[in-house]
Structure 1
Amino acid sequence: MSIWKKLVTALRGGASEVGEAIVDANAIRILEQEQRDADAAVLAARNSLIEIKAKHKMSLQRLEAYGSDISSWENKALAALNKGVEDLAGECANKVAELEGLRDQEKILADQFGKQVEILHTQVTKADTQIKGLKQQIEMTKAREAVQKARVATSTATSGANNKVGTAVDSLARIKQRQDEQDARLEAAEETADAANGGDLERRLQEAGIGAKKNGGEDVLARLKAKQNSAQ
């Protein structure tokens, strides 16, 4: 296969994938449109059934009229025979034969209408049942789609919230680290200031027992006792 044929095949494959993606994204909308098309088709079939039923009914009425006319002309033919009027009886018989021919044709037509009524009635009933099932399936599909969208939204929101919590925890950790570093710098600065003022040297001398010591409560109490003894 040449490179151009391969490219054309690849483009066709890509177009097919895009087409399938569009169909999948609009699946429910397509189903609803197909349902509306089916409803329209069933409505048209039901209207046709009504028309054929009406024609069947009219055909049956014509059959009944032909039967009545045939009986009437047969009676006239018999009456003519009873009176010995052979030619009139023959004409009446011809009329009966003509009407029977029309009746037989109408009977064929009525039977055809009757069969069409049965077929269409069965088809319309079946289509109604199928459309009812399709509507139920569409409603369940729409409900499931709504639930899945809600789940996706909830999952996204939860994931976002978790990410935000994680970001906040990280921010707190960084703030704490900065504060610890600031405290360390302040303590170092204070120690440096004490050393510069000689405070650190005096503290170390006192700790070594050298130099003046600040009077504590026990020293003050001992001094007061000594003063009291002197006064006595």
Structure 2
Amino acid sequence: MSAFKDIIKAIQNRFNGKMEETADGLSTDTAEQYLREARANQDKARLAVIDLNAKVKLKRKELDDLNTQVESMENKCRQAQEKGLTDLAMEAAGEIGNLRQQRDLVATDLKQFETFRDQQQTIFTKSEGDIKKVTSQLDRTRARKAIQESRASISASTGSSGKGLNSAMGALQRAEDTLNQKDAQLEAAEELDGQLSGKSLEDKFQAAGIGQNENYDAKAILESLSKK
């Protein structure tokens, strides 16, 4: 019985103490280890409860057998009295006393076994419920952890993608700036080439009819004469 109590105590300690530590930050692997140990202890407790039930059944059978023996001996004692067999009746009465004493002892043992069995069955059932509850909590924790890891992975990938896009945009902008600068340089070069290879400033004035001396221009002279 002491061993059974130790098993139950071990199970309770696993949940009342260690699982609280798990809630404070121990890894799910550590929690799973505690859970495996608790299940192993629970399996031992199950065997202990089964053994208690077996002992209760044996005690009940022993008590039933003693009740049968007492009843049988009482009948024989009465028959001996009816026949006037006083000595035999007295001997039977003594045996009845012994059987009744044995029966009372077995009945007391049976009551103690049943009480202890019921107590341990209650503890075992509670521990079984605790194991299921912690198992469910562990499953939820694993699922939540997996979701968080997935979110972190997606966030990291998205962040890297965003950085990559920003880098690409920056590179394109720098390329555009370089091309714009090149276009401006080409236009300036073309203008300079045109100035160097074209007419002089005086030629341009003459082409525009600016600064010409009309006294020496034939056309101007003819026009002047025709007016006179």
- Relative to the length of structure 1, the TM-score reads 0.72
Matching residue of 2:159:
159
| C-alpha RMSD of the superposition | 2.4
Q: CA deviation at 1:34?
A: 2.0
Deviates more, 1:53-62 or 1:142-151: 142-151
Q: CA deviation at 1:119?
A: 0.8
SS of equivalent to 1:180: helix
Matching residue of 2:80:
80
Counterpart CA distance in 1 for 2:42 and 2:200 is: 105
Matching residue of 2:127:
127
Which stretches in structure 1 are left out of the alignment for 5+ residues? Answer: 1-19, 214-232
Matching residue of 2:49:
49
Counterpart CA distance in 2 for 1:203 and 1:158 is: 64
Q: CA deviation at 1:190?
A: 3.5
Counterpart CA distance in 2 for 1:150 and 1:126 is: 36
- Residues 1:177 and 2:177 aligned together: yes
Matching residue of 2:205:
209
Q: CA deviation at 1:53?
A: 0.5
Cα offsets for 1:57-107 (capped at 9, x unmatched) = 110000000010011111222222222222212221121111112111111
| Structure 1 residues 94 and 190: alpha-carbon distance in aligned structure 2, compared to 1, 3 A threshold | same
For 2:157, the aligned partner's letter is A
Matching residue of 1:10:
none
SS of equivalent to 1:209: helix
Q: CA deviation at 1:205?
A: 5.1
SS of equivalent to 1:64: helix
Counterpart CA distance in 2 for 1:178 and 1:61 is: 104
Q: What is the correspondence of 1:26-105 to structure 2 with a 5 Å cutoff? A: 27-105=27-105
| Structure 1 residues 203 and 78: alpha-carbon distance in aligned structure 2, compared to 1, 3 A threshold | farther
SS of equivalent to 1:84: coil
Aligned identity (percent) is 30
Q: CA deviation at 1:204?
A: 4.8
Counterpart CA distance in 1 for 2:36 and 2:177 is: 66
How many residue pairs get aligned? The number is 187
Q: CA deviation at 1:211?
A: 4.4
Matching residue of 2:146:
146
Counterpart CA distance in 2 for 1:151 and 1:205 is: 77
Counterpart CA distance in 2 for 1:99 and 1:91 is: 13
Counterpart CA distance in 2 for 1:119 and 1:36 is: 24
For 1:60, the aligned partner's letter is R
Counterpart CA distance in 2 for 1:118 and 1:137 is: 29
